Each structure stands twice: as structure tokens, then as C-alpha cells.
Amino acid sequence: MSRRGVLALGAAGIVGGVYPTAVSALGLTDRSRFGAAEPAPDTGGGTPEPEEPGEPAEEAPSLEHPRLIGDGSTADTGPQPHQPEARRLAAGERPPQFVVVSWDGAGALDDGLFDRFRGVAGDIGASMTFFLSGLYLLPEARRDRYEPPRNPRGASDIGYLSDAHIRDTLGQLRAAWLEGHEVGTHFNGHFLGGDGSVAHWSADDWRSEIAQAKAFVTEWRTNTGFADDVPPLPFDYERELTGGRTPGLMGQEALLPVAAELGWRYDASSPGGLQQWPAQREGLWDLPLQSLPFPGHGFEVLSMDYSMLANQSGDTTQGDPARFDTWREEARGALMGGFERAYTSNRAPLFVGNHFEQWNGGVYMDAVEEALREMAGRDEVRFVSFRQLCDWLDAQDPGVLANLRALGVGQAPPGGWEAVVTA
């Protein structure tokens, strides 16, 4: 029986769950590099009247003058650097080919993968989304502070990190945000089996899980006892957190109303989406992992490393080394096949999901890096975070978005882009 679309992400102990920026004539520009300061208003010359003395104006928060939040775990440092400006498409203009790369768990271990892919992002001018598991900032000695819905206190189906790895994770998250990447959530305990599975959670369960995920990020200094040599995360997580991906892509139906209550902008938990332009559900952008052509298999595979693994080596994360080269090329081929299909037709955004892992000798990490570097060599490609994609979608004319959504998988506009992107 085929294992296509397999998503049983749940192997214990696997971190992250089991499972140049160009000036764009095509929709995105980087304000930090290409914005110009507004000229001072012309007051007609003359000497302005001196202002009456009063209370000094409060200094706007910045990296040099952060406004600490709560116990100092996080801080408002002003607008995030390196954010692109969304622009509405002009009539007849072809959309960019967006590629959204995301990482589930986002914990930093000794494998150096978090740092490696921040480096890849820098090389190709990419922004990415890091879905942080809140427990990765909670020491195991304080695990009793986690009350998972429908599971025992302190329980988790993923491991807790050592203090050294928590420090490393904080450093990677801080650097990533300052580079322009997004920090979303992968929630906490990653429960996939039995009665306590996230598949069975209620809206109240999700409210509790989200509140705790936020607390583990905003109170890591209290929970860890780390001294001031560890700087705060440079963002207000209440503002930063605008979307996530559920463990195992389960439980979205109950989550969506809660996410809408919280003012989130998107959810990335739908499995097996088609390569078409996204729509909204419950007022949120529904941004699914997608089915991609899978070379050598005769069927399509989900755009995530774990699904590829499950269709290659089954239930083991370390299969036959003699197959590693073949599996790497199949994984790279799936990503490039999906990219080519969209790039040459409807230009639907490509969504790629990963974990920081070394499954099957690290072939999936090598495959995604090779594919991203190849995509970066094409014109009109934009690597954005989920939040940045939402900014662009929200800036478009609703009628144009409806026309884009009407294009099927692999379907180019029958009358050209002039018939789709109207004035």
C-alpha cells in the first residue's frame, strides 16, 4: 500500500518534532535598503519659534535602547529590520514566484543546522519562518510548569533541551529575527497519539497550549535563571506571533477559531494542499504544505522532509546508506519539480516544510539546500516568510486574487496575465 502523504511525525527524541534581496518590479522591495527618507517640510524659511519647555519626548525603542518586556526575556527594539514592502500588482503584471521555507521546532543542537540555513538564507537573500516549539526554551528541571491539555503535567512527545542548547537556541532566534526572519509557533508537546493527541483537542485546549507557548518564550529568563549575559529576544512576542503549524498537521479545525480570536493572520497546518493560490478560512490565510511530483514513485508527496523519508525508508530515520544518493536526488527532484510546475504556469507560492534533522545521513538537508540555491538562480523568485506573504496577499486587489485562485495546478493564464491581473 502506498505511503504517499504520510505525516505520522512522532518519533521520540527528534528535535523539531518528528517529523540578494532584489529591488522588485514584481511586488516586493526592501525598505531598509531602498527606502529614501522623506524631505523635511518647507516652512517658508525664517526661524521657528522655540517650543515651550515640557516633558521630554519618550525615546522610541531601538536595538541600542530596547524597551524590556516582563522579566526581560523579550524586548521591543522597534520595527524588524529587512522587511520587504508589499505592493499591489500593476495591470497585466506577472506575479513573483514566492517560495516560503519553514522549519518546525527550530531548536539549536550540536549539528549546526540552524546556523547553516541562516547562512543559506543570507546567500540567496531569503527570509524564512521558524516555527518555535515553546518547550525548547523551558529547562527539563522546570517541566512541571507545562500543563499539556489532556496529558500529564510535564509530559512531552519531544525532548527537552539542555541549558547549553537553550542558550544556543536563544542566540539563533535573536540573530534570525534581526536578519528579517519570522518566529512563529509549533506549540509545545507535539502529542500525536492516543486520547491526548492534538487531533482531539478542543478550542479551550488550544487556548491553554498557546498561552503556555507564549509564556515559555516571554518568561525564559525566569524559568532558566540565566544571567544578563544572555540578551533578550529582540521582539515583542505578542506582536511577533501571527501564525503557526500544528504538530502532525492535526487539530486545525478547533484551532482556527482560537487563532482568529487572537488576531493571527495565517495557519500553515493544512496537509496535502494543491499548488494553487491560497484562500482564507475563518479570516486567516490557509497556507498548506503541498503535493509535489515525486520522481521515481509515480505519485505526489507532501512538501516536507518527513513525508519524503516515510516514502523512502519507512519507519526508520536511518535507512540503507546505499540508497542515500538516490533518496537525496528524489527529494531534490520533488522540490524542483513542484517549483518548475508553478514557475512556468500559475505562479502559485511554493511552501516547503522541514525539520532540523540528519535523517538518512542528512540527505533531506542537502536536498533542500541544493534546490533553494537552484531556485535562487531564476528571475522573479522571492523567498519570503509566511508573514511577508500575508502582507503581499493583503495588498492585492481581491478580484485579482480570485482570478489567481481560479488557475488550476500547472495551468498558465489562458489569456495571458493581462486577463488575470486586471486594473
Nearest to 16 by CA among 237, 123, 172: 172
Backbone φ, ψ for residue 267 (5° rounding): -140, 140
Per-residue pLDDT at 56:
65
Under a CB-based contact definition with an 8 Å cutoff, are residues 244 and 89 in contact?
no
Could you please state the CATH topology (level 3) that the domain comprising 95-420 is classified under: TIM Barrel (3.20.20)
Neighbours of 137 (CB within 10 A): 26
CA distance 153 to 344: 51
Neighbours of 334 (CB within 10 A): 27
Q: Which residues of 391-423 are buried (b: 16+ CB within 10 A; e: fewer)?
A: bbbeebeeebbebbeebebbeebeeebeebbee
Per-residue pLDDT at 31:
32
Type of residue numbered 125: G
Per-residue pLDDT at 4:
40
Per-residue pLDDT at 58:
74
pLDDT of the chain along its 423 residues, tens only?
Answer: 333 443 333 332 333 333 222 222 223 333 332 233 333 444 444 455 555 556 666 789 999 999 999 999 999 999 999 999 999 999 999 999 999 999 999 999 999 999 999 999 999 999 999 999 999 999 999 999 999 999 999 999 999 999 999 999 999 999 999 999 999 999 999 999 999 999 999 999 999 999 999 999 999 999 999 988 999 999 999 999 999 999 999 999 999 999 999 999 999 999 889 999 999 999 999 999 999 999 999 999 999 999 999 999 999 999 999 999 999 999 999 999 999 999 999 999 999 999 999 999 999 999 999 999 999 999 999 999 999 999 999 999 999 999 999 999 999 999 999 999 997
CA distance 138 to 102: 22
Which residues are paired to 280 by β-bridges? 285
Neighbours of 65 (CB within 10 A): 11
CA distance 268 to 247: 11
Instruction: Give residue limits of the domains in the chain.
Output: 95-420
CA distance 106 to 94: 34
Per-residue pLDDT at 53:
59
Nearest to 220 by CA among 169, 256, 182, 255: 169
